Structure 1
Amino acid sequence: MAIAPARPSPLAAIFRVSKPLIGNVHCAPLPGTPRYRGEPMAAIVKRAVEDARAYAAGGMNGLMLENHGDIPFLPPGEIGPEIVAAMSVLVKAVAEAVDLPYGINLLANSAIGALAIAKATDARFIRVNQWVNAYVANEGLVEGESGRALRFRRMIGADDVAIFADVHVKHGAHAIVGDRGVAELARDTEFYDADVAIATGNRTGDTVPPEEIAAVRAGTRLPVIAGSGIAKDNAAALMAELDGAIVGSSLKHDGVWWNQVDPARVEAFVTEVRRHHPA
């Protein structure tokens, strides 16, 4: 039974390929965050641009930029203007250096902040880890921002920015909605007007279980992409069940998320995926 009007998938319009591969640019710590050590913004921007160029050269189809270096993250309402400003500068520099579509993930869970950055930098999508319902995260109780975020998106004229929403997000406990299965949570994600559903593992870099993908698929007509754990060794099998993937940790030097992108890993990964799933 349909629970919301059908919407066209934004993946083909944004990426123009089948099963797009989106490289995750984990930005270095930004000014004002605990792990920031006084580096000039130029150095932070340079690292992000280098990672973006490595993804592009290796054949990835898009980018996602996120402030992953800002650990420990704040709840969305406490993220300061210094972070939104720094991310906007960084994203614009990457956009000028690399000709790939890109999106924003403003951690933790700041859909409104991400939309503001997207509007200012012409980003095509945002990722929101908790779009609807609530869960207990490392940051505390995190509630879905969909109602406020969609009103903000309309207010700033950013209706063309797509919403990529996690269904059963990593780094947290789902006891609050423990009486409802993943398929039902996927239905909620579609009901509250997300454009793409994301399936993930339990932590950054953890492989998304095939049964998680199947459960998300069972609950929604939205395209389903992976948000963690896709690597060269499992890509052929998992990508058969997915409409795309956001990939980061496995493409870094030594497979560690805080390292910079390894061009050789990117090329090998893309070659393996496209051998089984041509674009």
Structure 2
Amino acid sequence: MNWLTEVLGTQKPIIAMCHFPALPGDPSYDKQGGITKVVEEARRELLSLQEGGVDAIMFSNEFSLPYLTKVRTETVAAMARIIGQLMPEIKVPFGVNVLWDPAASLDLAVATGAKFVREIFTGVYASDFGLWNTNCGEVIRHQHAIGAENVKLLFNIVPEAAKYLGERSITEIARTTVFNNQPDALCVSGLTAGSETSLQTLQLVKEAVPGTIIFANTGVRLDNLEQQLSVADGAVVGTAFKADGVFHNRVDVQRVKAFMDRVRAFRANLK
């Protein structure tokens, strides 16, 4: 038995994204509505996802566009405030993702009791955000220094809107990432949020590191979930749960229910 059952309660789990609106300091922040409006929007999304039956939730500052690779204090403070206010209503395991700052994600996890984080922990990239460098050794030491050693680390090895600076195959990246860093899971993504994860890439990664949990990180939808979950050990889902499948829209609880009904049927057939 791997940690998925212990932490998330099931095999082939669906981690739903709860996307926070723009936060204080972000270019699109609604100063008139203020943090109260952000909390209410986040509450609406959380309750819709839980009513739809998802297995776990990942809170992220998805609308802090354009992203920073070292976030500011106000971002983490605002996210902690939001999650703290929602805590009495959170009924499923949850994780956090402070885009794109792994140390800040771990800080937020410790502050809120999150079970997992997803981040770009390794690699050097040419990206929409400039030259994107990482320091996994420093981050892992920080994890242990702040008492976050039990927080599960989901390594995104195909960053959205970025390309590895050196020419390396996905199988090379997967093997060395696992050997050097011992991640709790690898996340395989498409080009942007909502873009379908290549099934061939998922298969290559799964074959390269067969003992490692693999998540399909973007683009899992009602029409491809059986195909994606036949290879991946679980999925992170955001856009597919939004009204009309549009990234900027609110969560549509009926879409969530239809999706999770299919997931449960798929899981039942595995037994």
**Is the pair's TM-score, using the shorter chain for normalization, greater than 0.5?**
yes
Q: Are 1:19 and 2:12 matched, yes or no?
A: yes
Q: Given the alignment, which residue of 109, 117, 122 partners 1:118? A: 109
Q: Which residue of 1 aligns with 2:177?
A: 189
Give distance in 2, aligned partners of 1:147 and 1:45. Answer: 34
> Identity of paired residues, percent?
28
- AA aligned to 1:9 is N
- Residues 28-68 of structure 1 show CA distances to partners (whole Å, capped at 9, x for unaligned) of 00011111120221210111111111111111000011101
Instruction: Give SS of 1:168's match.
Output: coil
How does the TM-score come out when normalised to structure 1?
0.92
Alpha-carbon distance between aligned partners in 2 of 1:277 and 1:9, rounded to the nearest angstrom: 16
Count of aligned pairs between the two proteins: 266
Select the residue among 162, 165, 185 that pairs with 2:152: 162
Pairing of 1:62-141 with structure 2 (within 5 A):
62-76=56-70, 79-108=71-100, 110-128=101-119, 130-141=120-131
Q: Normalized against structure 2, the TM-score is what?
A: 0.94
* 1:3 match: none
1:202 maps to 2:191:
yes
Paired residues of 2:160 and 2:193 also in contact (CA < 8 A): yes
Letter in 2 for 1:232: L
Q: Quote the residue 2:258 is aligned against.
A: 268
Unaligned runs of 5+ in 1: 1-7
Q: Deviations over 1:182-221 (max 9, x none)?
A: 0111112212121101111111100111111011112222
Contact 1:75 1:140 in 2 (8 A): no
Q: How far 1:14 sits from its partner (Å)?
A: 1.0
Separation in 2, partners of 1:146, 1:82:
24
Distance in 2 of aligned mates of 1:213 and 1:204: 17
Following TM superposition, where does structure 1 have runs of at least 4 consecutive aligned residues deviating by more than 6 angstroms?
none
1:238-253 superposed matches below 5 A: 238-253=228-243
Amino acid at match of 2:115: R
Structure-2 separation of matches of 1:73 and 1:145: 18
1:113 maps to a residue whose letter is: A
The match for 1:151 is: 141
Alpha-carbon shift at residue 10 of structure 1 (Å): 2.5
Q: Which residue of 2 aligns with 1:218?
A: 207
Query: Is residue 185–residue 219 contact of structure 1 (8 Å, CA) maintained in 2?
Result: no
For residues 200-243 of structure 1, the C-alpha deviation after alignment (integer angstroms, 9 at most, x for no partner) is 11111001111110111122221001110001011111111111
CA offsets per residue over residues 119-164 of structure 1, 9 Å max, x none? Answer: 0000001001x22121112111112331111111110111010100
CA RMSD in angstroms, aligned pairs only: 1.4
* Distance (whole Å) between structure 1 residues aligned to residue 252 and residue 162 of structure 2: 29
| 1:234 has 2:224 as partner | yes
Q: Distance in 1 between matches of 2:133 and 2:208?
A: 21
- Give the whole-Å Cα distance in 2 for the aligned partners of 1:154 and 1:233: 41
Structure 2 contact 116–151 (Cα < 8 Å) conserved: yes
Q: Which residue of 1 aligns with 2:53?
A: 59
Q: Unpaired runs of 5+ in structure 2?
A: none
